[in-house]
Structure 1
């Protein structure tokens, strides 16, 4: 069901990242199909969004805005236990996000020379919530809460219609209502990203587009980047598990399956120095996949080239492999798991020990599940309040403070052959001997 890669005995010259291939995800190729969609929305606005929705989703819309009455009813009809779970997820994530907020800093670099480091929220954010393989209700929580905590005053959300009802998934709409997101649009795929970025009908352009999606959603974000900010180009879901012989095979197998449930391109990687554990996990996978409601797509993901059991000499080599792979999610199932977790350099999020599974991070840990994929954890971070804050320096100098540095400015401006820059300072002291 899942292949093995044997890295035991490897020398230091081995490129671990190259030895662990990921699923094919050719965003550049998809841009050729997406560019005409973006231009159609740019030129014809809401008319194009409605036409594209009928073409791709099989739903003919009269309007793209979800009425407030539909949002209210979705929340009132929400099962009490689902509402309670959403409320707890929101509470925990909001607690973490509020702790991330820091006040503006005032720095006096010299007497009378003050720099204020301000953090200013983005004016308007557009969130895309997919509804294809599964309606990702948790995506609403994970994206809206940090934006709200950051102080973003305007949030618009787009999510595709269900063919049967012509409206988006009702639990997704209920989550919007629960969070106070009132501006919700029926639109999916690349046309939804274009609508948010460029504006169409009642949807005014946003400053930033966030949220996961398929290859075409990602391609649209790439093409529109620069016109708007984006969070990231999200690839297929990933989990890596670093485990030794102390790991519980049933737990490891279950966690490998959680990300595989997203679909056939998802990656599941077990890195272990214990062939016995690898064998036991194989047995567990056969049993658990057969019993899983979405066993077919889980099996597809586990059998793909992007998934593997990686055998290493010891957990030290395993840690090197994990850091090279830079997984979206990394679980540690070893002796001294907390100590090992503290040595992880590259991962979107780290889950420590047998009772910190990725699934709790997906929903209710208080961490954010919007994380870098495709090895980008070596240079990028998960979604946080800071993503919605622009950093701004406010410069406030007195006459005396400027006089102190005027000669330095003039000298550096002349060194760059930009003398008028220097004159912009010295003109203020014409006739002075400073």
Structure 2
């Protein structure tokens, strides 16, 4: 990990840059895949699944029999845990529901908003270096709470054409309607444009690798997307009261995700920083099965910033706008108002980041790479559409008709003006 003394004039964009090489080559490959799926439909999906996932499929859709069989392979204890997590997620996201509303600012006028769910949504679930049934629950349950009528899941198969049983079990618990054995950019293209088997969706959500993220960028406009998720990151603000063992473990909880994950400690205590560095490398060797991934993340993208005080710590954190922000400080609730930019905020020593990943209820699909400056966690609101409601009776429109007409003519739009005036011509 790199230890730096924080200075306000630091070029953080350069310091924290994660190199994602061959962007042009990746985009060109993705565009070729999208073109293939648009032109050849199922045949392209089968071709790319064999070429890229090394799996020869004869059927794209997962059958109910396969789902039921997968359910029997998941330990009862894990099923119980997933059901309880699902209830926590559902209860939290039900608080986000919006309803149609109207008001009458004056006689004869009704204004408001009509709230409707997106009709058909595609959910991408990764299946590469690790499988994430938690992502199924986090992305599917808010959609169903919102009232989405068709929720379609895509996820890459293994070489035997199978989907991880935990993923299928989570999909059944959540209530996913359709599941297909496809991954990568070809899955995104199929959701956006449709094939002989897969009907196109209106929005695509869910994380994936750089090919998936690039494909989501390319189909945006044809469909909506949730966000472009980059490698994971956690930033811990810690004072001298923090436990270095906890801090190191929490940094590694993100480092083990991906070689490009970014674990950051911001602390007022240089002594604590040194303890955390020592503890991070000890825990990598003793505790982690994915130690090579975690070590590369820590070595290349791990940082410790030493600051003068907590005000500087929050200033730095707000500039970085981390996906996950942990406050390992005395009285974190009192400091909450200092947080301006963060995907999710974990308060105190007994609120570690995995609490949010799996069980508490708030969504773990969060803005990354500084996008927390302008975006929010995935939620029910991502699956809802809003239509404006306008209702004027004749006297109400007559009272303002000339104002509308004058405004329209100031823009050179006589037709707009006449559309109002015609209603009051003798």
Instruction: Go from structure 1 to structure 2 and tell me whether the alpha carbon gap of 1:15 and 1:287 turns closer, same or farther (over 3 Å shift).
Output: closer
Check if 1:218 corresponds to 2:213: yes
290, 310, 316: which one aligns with 1:315: 310
- 1:19 Cα offset (Å): 5.7
Task: Give the SS at the match of 1:293.
Answer: coil
- The residue aligned with 2:113 is 117
Q: Alpha-carbon deviations, 1:284-321, whole Å to 9, x = none?
A: 112110011111110010011x3201111111101100
112, 122, 128: which one aligns with 1:126: 122
Task: Give the SS at the match of 1:342.
Answer: helix
Cα separation, 2, equivalents of 1:72 and 1:425? 61
Task: Give the SS at the match of 1:110.
Answer: coil
Q: Scaled by the length of structure 2, what TM-score is found?
A: 0.97
253, 257, 262: which one aligns with 1:258: 253
- 1:341 Cα offset (Å): 2.4
- The residue aligned with 1:34 is 30
- The residue aligned with 2:54 is 58
- The residue aligned with 2:200 is 205
Q: Scaled by the length of structure 1, what TM-score is found?
A: 0.95
- The residue aligned with 2:406 is 411
- The residue aligned with 2:3 is 4
Question: Which range moved further: 421-430 or 72-81?
Answer: 72-81
Cα separation, 1, equivalents of 2:285 and 2:194? 46
Unpaired runs of at least 5, structure 2? none
Contact 1:68 1:182 survives alignment (8 Å): no
Check if 1:294 corresponds to 2:279: no
Cα separation, 1, equivalents of 2:156 and 2:213? 15
Check if 1:67 corresponds to 2:66: no
Q: RMSD in angstroms over aligned alpha carbons? A: 1.3
Cα separation, 2, equivalents of 1:315 and 1:98? 35
Task: Give the SS at the match of 1:118.
Answer: strand
- 1:89 Cα offset (Å): 1.1
Q: Alpha-carbon deviations, 1:391-432, whole Å to 9, x = none?
A: 11121111111111111110100111101101001101111x
112, 122, 133: which one aligns with 1:137: 133
Task: Give the SS at the match of 1:176.
Answer: helix
Cα separation, 2, equivalents of 1:391 and 1:76? 41
Task: Give the SS at the match of 2:372.
Answer: helix
Unpaired runs of at least 5, structure 1? none
- The residue aligned with 2:387 is 392
Cα separation, 1, equivalents of 2:181 and 2:222? 22
- The residue aligned with 2:86 is 90
Instruction: Go from structure 1 to structure 2 and tell me whether the alpha carbon gap of 1:109 and 1:97 turns closer, same or farther (over 3 Å shift).
Output: same
Check if 1:273 corresponds to 2:272: no
- 1:36 Cα offset (Å): 0.3
Instruction: Go from structure 1 to structure 2 and tell me whether the alpha carbon gap of 1:27 and 1:231 turns closer, same or farther (over 3 Å shift).
Output: farther
Structure 1 residue runs of 4 or more that deviate by more than 3 Å after TM superposition: 25-28
Number of residue pairs the alignment of both structures matches: 424
